[in-house]
Structure 1
């Protein structure tokens, strides 16, 4: 009788311990997922900060040209503005590369993608991008600069680098 009661309690305690272990494992998985999401948001924030740092350095004439989608006026600052626009195009390419690696979420890419496509199609960014590509061709560079930006432009905003990537993380 006592042995039956002990066996019953032992079985119940094993079930409880197993259930608690499963709950702890599930909580650990949730914590891992949440920490990954936090890291992703922090990285996305860094890219937004980089965007604003570049944009804040542009001259008023360059900002106007961007808003009106016109060529940059020839001013003393236009060379610096072209450098800043090149940095922005490189930032866009970095964003596409990281999306291909599964670092940025679909939601973030859907938010950023229209601006990236607009930058590759509209003046004055188009002027800077075309000049860089022409220079690479003249110098015999077989690698096309900013290839992902070209792909984004060619797909008219429907391009998602993660779709064409070999690496597809489970969380995106």
Structure 2
């Protein structure tokens, strides 16, 4: 009889461990889904800015050639980049999304009119974008181990 209780106890322990593992996996999955929904808001902000520009964002135009609306939209884009860096730093952007955003920010900010704006007084209001733009070693404002990234649903 004692052996039966030991077997039942062992099975119950295994089932409890499996339930805990399943609960943790559900928590991490829910966090990742929340991140994805949040990231979508910023993708929508990006397209809202790009769609309102009177020029194709793939075409380089000097700042002097911008109309007033485009100049404001270009500044909004730089602020969006700053916000994206801040979100990454605060653990709201997944690694997969960050790789895309990082490349896009680096590419676009290195081109006119954004590169010219980065040399202007506008950068005084930005904390994260100027060092990110200048130093390729500062490629990720988030400094977490892969274990913690996984825990927060970022991997």
Place the TM-score, normalised by the shorter chain, in its bin: 0.7 to 0.9
RMSD: 2.3
Report the number of matched residues.
149
1:32 to 21, 27, 36: 27
Q: Cα offset for 1:30?
A: 0.5
Higher relative contact order (CA 8 A, sep 6+): 2
Equivalent positions of 1:1-150 (< 5 A) are 5=1, 7-59=2-54, 62-63=55-56, 66-72=57-63, 74=65, 78-133=67-122, 144-150=124-130
TM-score, structure 2 normalization: 0.83
Higher radius of gyration, 1 or 2: 1
Q: Distance in 2 between matches of 1:155 and 1:127?
A: 17
The question of whether the paired residues in 1 share the 8 Å contact of 2:32 and 2:94 is answered with no
Q: Distance in 2 between matches of 1:115 and 1:122?
A: 11
Structure 1 residues not aligned, in runs of 5+: 135-143
Q: Cα offset for 1:131?
A: 3.5
